[in-house]
Amino acid sequence: MSRRVGVDLGGTTAKLGLVNEQNEIEKRLVIPTDRTLPFEEIIARLADGIKSLGPVESVGFGVPSCLKPGSGIIIYANNFGWKNKDLRGELQKHLKDTAVYIANDADCAAVGEYFHGAGRGYESMLMLTLGTGVGGSFMFGGRLFLGGNGSGIEPGHIIVREGGEECTCGLRGCLEAYCSATALIREITSSASPLLARLIRENGGKANARILFDAVEAGDEDAQNILDRYLRTLAAGIGSLVTVMRPHIIVIGGGISQAGDRLFKPLSALMPSAVFSYDVIGCADIVPAALGNDAGIIGAACLKDALGA
């Protein structure tokens, strides 16, 4: 009976998984989350799906939103247009005595990596996800670190260049403004390199990180410069976070992390110039995330432990 359900709630579908004692997904279910339906109706369908997976000890939810500390109340989930929705209360109407735990979806992915992925066996873990934005989470003392007041942390929005590039969040110079996949693709697309332009054309007009790494391997100087700048800023951001978190392991997720050694080797080589007292204290290893899309489901299922509830 230590089976749990993890739910990774997205704007198009919710991915449900029945997770066993070994944190493996035993059964899966995908439920459309039609945002034109009322909140109550979507939750009712999700509850039916959860119940169909059998009796469980607890249910964990990863939601694309800020949450009111300790409440299970969604502050604003822009994918759904939900504002101030009592997700826990609504779920509990259907699930009665089953305990429900709720966290931000990016945090759930980090929890999954910590308990069952690249962070397994380490006491503390910093995770960054380099995707459309830069997400981040910190596992500390076996728990998800939500900051002093419990409102959650945003490592992607530390300021690495004061007064710099405008970020989607409205601030200037955030790590995300330089190190998201979006920012990197913008650099690649606007480059004058003929090789990069050709590789983009051959890829149907779409730029991505792989194209940049291919051009670097082919000796393209512009590509190398873009990568160098990207890595220096990423190293500065990770260095700042390491200086105030001192994690045992650093896990990088998101599309860019699939570059493997081409990313991780030069990035690791920059850390001595980005971490205070590197020569005395050093810096944790930087490794790729291991679970891919399953991290969110597994992490949601582990929320009881991660929240220390």
Under the binding rule (CB under 8 A), the answer on residue 287 touching a copy of itself is no
Residues 47-76 close enough to bind a copy of itself by CB under 8 A: 66, 75-76
Residue with tokens 């597994």: 298
124 is a site residue for a copy of itself (CB under 8 A): yes
At closest approach, how far in Å is the CB of 243 from a copy of itself? 5
| 269 touches a copy of itself by CB under 8 A | no
How far apart (Å, rounded) are the C-alpha atoms in residues 7 and 136?
Answer: 19
Among 60, 112, 173, 288, binds a copy of itself (CB under 8 A): 173
| Interface residue with a copy of itself, options 118, 181, 245, 256 (CB under 8 A) | 245
Q: Is 80 in the site for a copy of itself (CB under 8 A)?
A: no
Question: Is 7 in contact with 14 (CB distance < 8 Å)?
Answer: yes
Say how many residues touch a copy of itself, by CB under 8 A: 52
Q: Residue 47 or 236: which CB sits closer to a copy of itself? A: 236
Q: Does the protein bind a copy of itself through residue 181 (CB under 8 A)? A: no
Residue choice 189, 243, 258, 268 for contact with a copy of itself (CB under 8 A)? 243
Strands 4-9 and 58-63: parallel
**In contact, 14 and 46? CB cutoff 8 Å:** yes
Alpha carbon 66 to its chain centroid, in Å, reads 14
Nearer to a copy of itself, 91 or 167 (CB): 167
Nearer to a copy of itself, 17 or 239 (CB): 239
**Strands, E, within 36-158: which ranges?**
58-63, 66-67, 73-77, 82-86, 99-104, 125-130, 134-140, 143-144
Identify which of residues 55 and 141 has a Cβ nearer to a copy of itself in the complex: 141
Site string for a copy of itself, 209-238 (x = CB under 8 A): -----------------------xx--xx-
Quick count: other Cβ atoms within 10 Å of Cβ 268?
17
The 132-171 site mask, x for binding a copy of itself (CB under 8 A), equals: ------x-x-----xxxxxxxxxx-xxxxxxx-----x-x
208 near a copy of itself (CB under 8 A): no
Pick from 26, 87, 22, 32: nearest CA to 53: 26
123 binds a copy of itself (CB under 8 A): yes
Give, for 39, the enclosing helix (H) or strand (E): helix 39-52
By the 8 A CB rule, do 137 and 153 touch? yes
DSSP state of 33: -
Which residues, in sequence order, are CB contacts of 110 under 8 Å at separation 6+?
119, 125, 127, 136, 137, 138, 139, 144, 251, 295, 299
The secondary structure of 199-258, three-state, reads HHHHCCCCCCHHHHHHHHHCCCHHHHHHHHHHHHHHHHHHHHHHHHHCCCEEEEECHHHH
Kindly state whether residue 277 participates in binding a copy of itself, applying the rule CB under 8 A. yes
Binding mask 98-117 for a copy of itself (x = CB under 8 A): --------------------
Work out which of 201, 281, 293, 309 binds a copy of itself, going by CB under 8 A.
281
Q: Which chain residues interact with a copy of itself by CB under 8 A?
A: 66, 75-76, 123-126, 138, 140, 146-155, 157-163, 169, 171-174, 232-233, 236-237, 239-241, 243-248, 273-277, 280-281, 284
